Structure 1
Amino acid sequence: MQPITYDLCIPQGATLAAVLQWFSADAVHKIISHVTIGLPTLVTATAHGLTGTGRQPVWITNVKGPRALNTDGYRDACPRWATVVDADTLAVDVDTGSAQAWQSGGVLTYYPPVDLGGYTARMQVRASVAAADVLLELTTENGGITLDSDGTVTLQASATATAAMAWTRGVYDLELVDGGGVVTRLAAGSVEVSREVTREDAI
């Protein structure tokens, strides 16, 4: 897979906590059996398969009734954001309270997150791709990266560590390694350090 382009801005003197999420490339499609209008809109799709407590991207097509619920298509359209209510129901962040009641139809589409159990991760920042010096290194081993079973990758650095950064720009990539040693370059891009104004300068 091609890495996503994701540029980072590190606030000097503040805690870095950047979050990415890795989703499978294989879409799951579920038939919608009922829609309850309101805010949020409740969508019933038996055994939809989504888990977790956070908001997750979904695409909804071919609903007759509250047409505001529909996306134009699951490949290119912006997603709706849904929260799991139970194994059959999702709360979708769309206001259909004044819309026509659901009549029939509908397909729920989503990309399941990759279970990162057994993975490790590593990331380096350099001034350029060819530069020898490493400006910043985050790994699962040094506590700079944490991985969760819902595909979440969290990049973190303490306020003390970011305050000590003397550089302002660089490039990075982020690699994930599964238990069998297969390496996936998940993300890459530029890095900018936003200079701290409020600080305790030495006198």
Structure 2
Amino acid sequence: MKTLTLSLRLGATADIPIRVESDELTFAPITAMTKSAPVHIASTGHGIPDGWRAAVLNAGGMTELNGTWNAIRDSDFRRLAVIDVNTIAFPGVTSAGFRTYTTGGELAYYAPKDLSGYTAARMDIKRAVGGTVLASLNTTDGTIEIDAPNSAVWLHVTPTTLATLTAGDYVFDIEMLDSTDVLALCSADSVLHLLPEVTTSA
């Protein structure tokens, strides 16, 4: 189970997507990689959602991006942007100085989890694991939204959402509920960095 880290500012508005991966590792063949900023990777009909994470494996020539094919680490995965149905990019990754791509390779990614059966979600914020719940976000009040078509859970934070908290570090967990089960989206020691409010005056 993953440990998430979020940063929010008191008094600010934020809409944060948390994309929910399944345990099914999936592969999309690579057909080209550009020497550009950011790097563009062609993979015909890749089917990977925008904002998802993927790792490059076994690419010939441009080996600088390759993860370890038989022991993929979490650090091998990068957040991607979908350019079109056949192309993705890794924002912030420049390959201009890399070797030239030759052939082969795969984009490895965890398939999106089917969220269509889940009807509610909640996020509890505490000072420490097992401590008192100091604030909650949930689907009942609209501060959490289940976006099943995009396999995502959105956190909708307004200036009043966390008004009872002070700046500092907290822990949180997020759970989703269906008719029979509770799905934990992250470990209970996931970290929320709550930054001080920035006040400006005319």
TM-score (norm 2): 0.75
CA contact (8 A) 1:11 1:162 kept: no
**1:49 aligns to 2:50 (yes or no):** no
**1:68-123 deviation line (CA, Å, top 9, x unaligned):** 23233462142234322222222234333344432222122111222433422012
Partner of 1:70: 66
Q: 1:34 aligns with which of 32, 35, 43?
A: 32
**1:3-58 deviation line (CA, Å, top 9, x unaligned):** x3335555333335444221111110122223333233332222222133x3x321
* Partners of 1:122 and 1:99 in 2: CA distance: 44
CA contact (8 A) 2:16 2:154 kept: yes
Secondary structure class of the residue paired with 2:112: coil
The structure-2 alpha-carbon separation of the partners of 1:161 and 1:64, relative to structure 1 and needing over 3 Å to count, comes to closer
Deviation at 1:67, TM superposition (A): 2.2
CA contact (8 A) 1:124 1:173 kept: yes
Secondary structure class of the residue paired with 2:113: coil
One-letter amino acid matched to 1:160: T
Partner of 2:22: 24
Q: 2:85 aligns with which of 65, 84, 87?
A: 87
* Partners of 1:64 and 1:116 in 2: CA distance: 36
TM-score (norm 1): 0.74
The structure-2 alpha-carbon separation of the partners of 1:66 and 1:144, relative to structure 1 and needing over 3 Å to count, comes to same
Partner of 1:123: 123
Return the index of the structure with the highest Cα Rg: 1
Give the unaligned 5+ runs of structure 1: none
CA contact (8 A) 2:167 2:195 kept: no
The structure-2 alpha-carbon separation of the partners of 1:104 and 1:144, relative to structure 1 and needing over 3 Å to count, comes to same
CA RMSD of aligned residues (A): 3.2
Deviation at 1:143, TM superposition (A): 0.7
Partner of 2:137: 138
Deviation at 1:153, TM superposition (A): 2.0
Identity within the alignment, %: 30
CA contact (8 A) 2:10 2:167 kept: no
